[in-house]
Amino acid sequence: MQAPNPKQNDDELNALAGKTLGNFRIDEPIGSGGMATVFKALQLTLGRYVAIKVLPSRYAREPNFVKRFKQEAHIVAQLVHPNILPIYDFGEQDNITYIVMEYVEGGTLKERLARPLSTSEAADFMIQAAEGLGCAHTQEKVIVHRDVKPANMLLRKGNFLLLSDFGIAKILEGTANLTRAGVGIGTPQYMSPEQGTGSTVDPRSDIYSLGIVFFHCLAGRVPFTGDTPLSITLKHLNEPLPVEMLRAKGVPAPIEQVILKMTAKRAEDRYQTTNELIEALAAALATAQIALPQRWRPNSSAPMQKIDAPAPNISGPMLPAPSYPQPVFNPNQQSAVTISCFRCGASNPSTRLFCTTCGYELADRRAVADHFLGPNGRPVLARLTIRDNAMNSRSYRFHQDITTIGRTSGNDLVISGRTVSRQHARLWFDSGRWILEDLHSANGTRVNNALLNQPVVLKDGDVVNFGDEVVVFNTTY
């Protein structure tokens, strides 16, 4: 987003430091873009730091602006996804309109791009961004981001990417002060041809912008530059993507193909959904024999073999995945061979595909994720034991991929209980350590009674609360 003269608001915004807006004491400015200034602030009631985006007063003077802003903020606040920056609050005071968000310490992808990214790192960021966009694109009322760019991708520790400023471009669009000034919304360097020319946009426009971000990550610069927004837009409309810049950096051909398709000039020639894109990118990585940085990505077909730095606390050789005894399914053979479920241990007849107790796939294909072996040569696994109120215990084992925990089916570990959110938390394995992250659940996740604000490394025997439900974590082999 661009503004005619951001300087004009400097005094008004600088005067905010030390002031209190609602429940928030403004600390220091973190950064500013074309439209707004972002401050670090203390949420007085909860004693935690937040980021507050303050819009200059000229917007608030706009008729209907605050009403529209509020409506959109409500819609965007419904987006709950690990790759979308959570909005905590919204307010208006003395003509100042502000949005309160999670404070993210790791800077933005824009800053990270000062150093080169490997294809693997870039692809990992793109998959995370696509996952976040996918959540918005598949809402009943489709939400298009409209300003996908590295400055709107915040990085939390561990290279977690969070998309910010969802729909803000839409809120500001049509604001008379802006249109009068002849200022377009969105960032021309990353804008799709249809958005640049003012046509209606749909999720495929975000896929285009993400393709330009991918290009930037790998080529080290954006594909089209120019002196004016219009000259840049014209290049997006007419000029072929300068693939030679990717080739000069040694970007493998299958990845180049993905970027080309993301950035096709006509929306119908692009990937039509973020899922289609993620699948294509995973396949391209596999063809190019590039592993994603070892981490999560549920249900991915992408390879995840590489572990760069085994943690010192677990010793053990890095060996190819062990082969587990796999049940053989023969539809003609109904004999009563039983196999036990990897996850919950229940016995099942070998004619079943899924465990009758916990629903886990008896073929246990997720075992391919296990590459890190413990001292006994067996893979390191996680065990979560749910203690219910009667102090009964149910115990489940998990592989070295991502485990989702929540109240509803579809999660790997389903914990019923009113205080557990539908998607409450996730657990994954990274470089020899098990990491737990709360997914902005309503009632929070605690480890040994400490509330999680960011992902933490679990230790054997840790007691975890998902809302009021108690689970004990152990490593096992």
Q: Which stretch binds ligand ATP (CB under 6 A): 34-42, 135-143, 203-211, 235-243?
A: 34-42
Per-residue binder mask for ligand ATP (CB under 6 A), 159-178, x = binder: -----xx-------------
Q: How far is the CB of 9 from ligand ATP (least distance, A)?
A: 12
Cβ neighbors of 78 (< 8 A, separation 6 or more) are 139
Candidate list 9, 37, 97, 152; residue touching Mg ion; CB under 5 A: 152
Structure tokens that stand for 21 in this block: 């807006």
Q: How far is the CB of 187 from ligand ATP (least distance, A)?
A: 6
* Phi, psi dihedral angles at 395 (to 5 degrees): -120, 140
Q: Among candidates 108, 99, 93, 13, which has minimal Cα distance to 50?
A: 99
- Tell me the helix, strand and coil percentages in the chain, rounded to 5: 30, 25, 50
CB 277 within 8 A of CB 137: no
> Nearest residue by C-beta to Mg ion?
165
Structure tokens that stand for 426 in this block: 């996730």
Rounded distance between C-alpha atoms, residue 382 and residue 400, angstroms: 8
Candidate list 27, 62, 124, 165; residue touching Mg ion; CB under 5 A: 165
Rounded distance between C-alpha atoms, residue 287 and residue 261, angstroms: 17
Helices (H), 380-471: none
Per-residue binder mask for ligand ATP (CB under 6 A), 87-126, x = binder: --------------xxxx---x------------------
- Residue 115 or 266 with smaller CB distance to ligand ATP: 115
Rounded distance between C-alpha atoms, residue 450 and residue 186, angstroms: 40
Which of the choices Mg ion, ligand ATP, none does residue 187 contact, using the CB cut-off of 5 to 8 A by kind? ligand ATP
**Is 208 near ligand ATP (CB under 6 A)?**
no
The residue written with tokens 């109120």 in the block is 389
Q: How far is the CB of 189 from Mg ion (least distance, A)?
A: 14
Length of the chain counted residue by residue: 477
**Is 469 near ligand ATP (CB under 6 A)?**
no
Rounded distance between C-alpha atoms, residue 218 and residue 214, angstroms: 6
CB 356 within 8 A of CB 348: yes
Q: Which stretch binds ligand ATP (CB under 6 A): 151-159, 199-207, 241-249, 376-384?
A: 151-159
**Is 62 near ligand ATP (CB under 6 A)?**
no
Q: How far is the CB of 85 from ligand ATP (least distance, A)?
A: 6
Q: Which of residues 7-36 bind Mg ion (CB under 5 A)?
A: 33
- Residue 38 or 171 with smaller CB distance to ligand ATP: 38
Q: How far is the CB of 133 from ligand ATP (least distance, A)?
A: 16
Please work out the total of residues on this chain that contact Mg ion, with binding judged by CB under 5 A. Answer: 3
Over the range 266-302, which residues count as b (16 or more CB within 10 Å of their CB) and which as e?
A: ebeebbebbeebbebbbebbeebebbbbbbbbeebeb
Q: Among candidates 177, 188, 185, 173, which has minimal Cα distance to 228?
A: 188
- Residue 99 or 219 with smaller CB distance to ligand ATP: 99
Q: Which residues pair with 20 in a beta bridge?
A: 25
Rounded distance between C-alpha atoms, residue 25 and residue 44, angstroms: 7
Q: How far is the CB of 375 from ligand ATP (least distance, A)?
A: 41
Structure tokens that stand for 94 in this block: 């003395």
Q: Which of residues 335-374 bind ligand ATP (CB under 6 A)?
A: none
Supply the residues annotated as catalytic: 147
Which of the choices ligand ATP, Mg ion, none does residue 13 contact, using the CB cut-off of 5 to 8 A by kind? none
Q: How far is the CB of 172 from ligand ATP (least distance, A)?
A: 9
Binding site for Mg ion (CB under 5 A): 33, 152, 165
Binding site for ligand ATP (CB under 6 A): 1, 30-36, 38, 51, 53, 85, 101-104, 108, 147, 151-152, 154, 164-165, 187
